[in-house]
Amino acid sequence: MVCADGMSWSTREIAELAGTSLRAVRHYHEVGLLPEPERRSNGYKKYGVPHLVRLLRIKRLVDLGFSLAQIAETVDDAEHPEHALRTLDAELADTIQRLQRARVELGTLLRRRVPADLPPELTPVTPMSSADRALVLVMTRIMGPRQLRAYGEMIRTLPAHPTDREFDDLPADTGEAARQDLAERMAPRLRLLRAAHPDLDVSHPDAPLGEESAREILATVVRELYNPAQLDVLGRVAALLSRPR
Amino acid sequence: MVCADGMSWSTREIAELAGTSLRAVRHYHEVGLLPEPERRSNGYKKYGVPHLVRLLRIKRLVDLGFSLAQIAETVDDAEHPEHALRTLDAELADTIQRLQRARVELGTLLRRRVPADLPPELTPVTPMSSADRALVLVMTRIMGPRQLRAYGEMIRTLPAHPTDREFDDLPADTGEAARQDLAERMAPRLRLLRAAHPDLDVSHPDAPLGEESAREILATVVRELYNPAQLDVLGRVAALLSRPR
DNA sequence: TTGCTCCTCACGTCACGTGAGGTGGC
DNA sequence: TTGCTCCTCACGTCACGTGAGGTGGC
């Protein structure tokens, strides 16, 4: 490939020289970013110095994070593309923030060894039933930011209580006496929790959906996540809580 | 949409509830991540609570950065997918590093208001000719890390010199006397630069390509970037430098 | 003849976006 | 009849990756 007055390169060679792939070079031809060079008599492409320089310029801008469309606009005017640089910088800053937030969550999930389907700030110290996890997941879309904060605070600080397991494992055909008994043992604790977290009140018009539909959705979800006995207990607890003690 | 025993949602509704797009929901059907719900009599899809919960789970994992293929593998087993979490975390860390490096470069480019086609560590304080810029770009691929460091150090600390512009603007038909004169005025400075940056020596077998091809490529590029008079001056300078003074 | 490199289609990837064209209930 | 929502194809996006099938010089 060495001639008297210089050198020329094959597609593979120029790709390797520039540190990109064969296909990338061809792709830059296809989109018109890099002109096709002359051919040898056998049809092989014959790249020269100008192609190498342009390819290196393209690669540099690609590595910085520019799209090929942006490169096509900026690579030719020698002036300093300040606006493009600032825009890209802002986009990168955004992306980095998103990824870092994700990493913070991943780190918390790994440290606490909890299931990955809930955000850590809504995950209690003690394990949850899958119904409870599903409910929390729905809550993240139903509640407004203020309610969610209160909800998270409650969940994270929730101490284990004997009635938790009892409720989670309640058979669908539990008798009325046992249901009433469980409700009466759950009520005082829930009363305390509500008093400790006043922002939890659903009537705060904080929600993104409006109170009406939020209530409706919540009711539907609860009805499908828990069995009849559990639903009955929840009803009894609500009745106990609505009566001033 | 409210029935006696609960609620069901249209595709648009469930998408909005979950905070994703209509098309995303349909895409999850297509790839088998989300089962299709039953239809109403008119063929409309009728989503229930299980769909909502699954969709929320998918969205959560997508937001964390998992691919749909990974989600398909992990969303079903309730156990803590530690390996997947660690792998993703490492990938995110890598990506963040890359983006941050790009931002550092962008910041330098913006502060120094220099053309974007060169890495800042190889950009001098004084403006360069486009031929010089092209040469530097090629050097980044020809030199090894050690040489590049020396080269960058030299370029960044390079003080302006009257012969710079004179060389850049040298007409192709410059007479011999003027060429010799310019070469003699350039030589002392280049001798000093070489002495100050010993690692610049091309015979360091530091390069990724091997010394032989590096020399060849460099020669070709130089021959195409500068005009005959400039090349002649470079030859005369080299001759002067090779003679001990 | 056997490898090796080069060439040109052309479809695949990933996670959807974006119409096109048609139906159903008010 | 007019809007509105829903439906199903099916092609487009972005920056290439990945063969498939053929040629040319040693």
Q: What are phi and psi of A130, to 5 degrees?
A: -70, -30
Residue A3, pLDDT above cutoff 70: no
Q: Which of B80, B53, B74, B88 is nearest to A115 (CA)?
A: B80
Q: Which of A105, A103, A104 is nearest to B93 (CA)?
A: A103
Please tell me if residue B60 touches chain A, with a CB cutoff of 8 Å. Answer: yes
| C-beta of residue A125 within 8 angstroms of C-beta of residue A156 | yes
Q: For chain B, which residues score pLDDT lower than 70? A: 1-6, 78-79, 202-205, 245
User: DSSP of B123-141, one letter per residue?
Assistant: --SS---HHHHHHHHHHHH
CA-based R_g, chain A, Å: 32
- pLDDT tens per residue across span B130-147: 999 999 999 999 998 889
- At position A83, the amino acid (one-letter code) is H
Rounded to whole angstroms, the Cα distance separating A116 from A112 reads 10
Pair of tokens at residue A135: 């409910």
- Separation between the CA of B18 and the C1’ of D17 (whole angstroms): 34
Please tell me if residue B62 touches chain A, with a CB cutoff of 8 Å. Answer: no
Rounded to whole angstroms, the Cα distance separating B146 from B140 reads 11
Nearest CA in chain B to A133: B53
Question: Residue A140: its pLDDT value, please?
Answer: 94
Please tell me if residue A171 touches chain B, with a CB cutoff of 8 Å. Answer: no
Question: Residue A5: its pLDDT value, please?
Answer: 58
| C-beta of residue B33 within 8 angstroms of C-beta of residue B70 | no
Helix/strand/coil for B7: strand
Residues contacting residue A100 through CB under 8 Å, at least 6 positions apart: B96
Question: Residue B3: its pLDDT value, please?
Answer: 45
Rounded to whole angstroms, the Cα distance separating A229 from A176 reads 9
Residues contacting residue A119 through CB under 8 Å, at least 6 positions apart: A105, A140, B60
Strand partners, B47: B9
Cα dihedral B19→B24→B28→B31 (10° resolution): -160
Bases of strand C lying below 7 A from some protein CB: 5-8, 14-18, 24-25
- pLDDT tens per residue across span A177-223: 999 999 999 999 999 999 999 888 766 667 777 888 888 999 999 99
Statement: the CB of A38 is under 7 Å from strand C: no
Helix/strand/coil for A208: coil
Q: How confident is the model at residue A2 (pLDDT cuts 50, 70, 90)?
A: very low
* A137 membership: H or E segment, kind and range: helix A130-142
Question: Residue A203: its pLDDT value, please?
Answer: 64
